[in-house]
């Protein structure tokens, strides 16, 4: 049977590993959020470009 000091040490090691894992997950989530923001900006820019083209084509048709 393990002694209480050994169990405490194992628990402390587990807490350290969990703390490191949480920190790593937070960092990865931050990177994912940044990629999401960039993708959102790209989609918005593309949609704005398509709307502008649509307006230009309609204006060109009206001039004919």
| Alpha carbons 17 and 36: distance in angstroms, whole number | 28
Q: Where are the domains of the chain?
A: 1-64
Question: Both tokens of residue 63?
Answer: 């001039």
Q: What is the mean pLDDT of residues 5-24?
A: 94
User: Per-residue pLDDT for 64 more than 80?
Assistant: no
- Confidence grade of residue 1 (pLDDT, cut at 50, 70, 90): low
| Alpha carbons 22 and 30: distance in angstroms, whole number | 12
């Amino acid at each position: 049977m393990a002694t209480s000091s050994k169990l405490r040490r194992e628990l402390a090691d587990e807490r350290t590993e969990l703390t490191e894992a949480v920190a790593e997950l937070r960092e990865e989530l931050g990177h994912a959020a940044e990629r999401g923001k960039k993708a959102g900006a790209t989609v918005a820019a593309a949609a704005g470009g398509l709307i502008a083209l649509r307006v230009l084509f309609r204006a060109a048709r009206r001039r004919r």
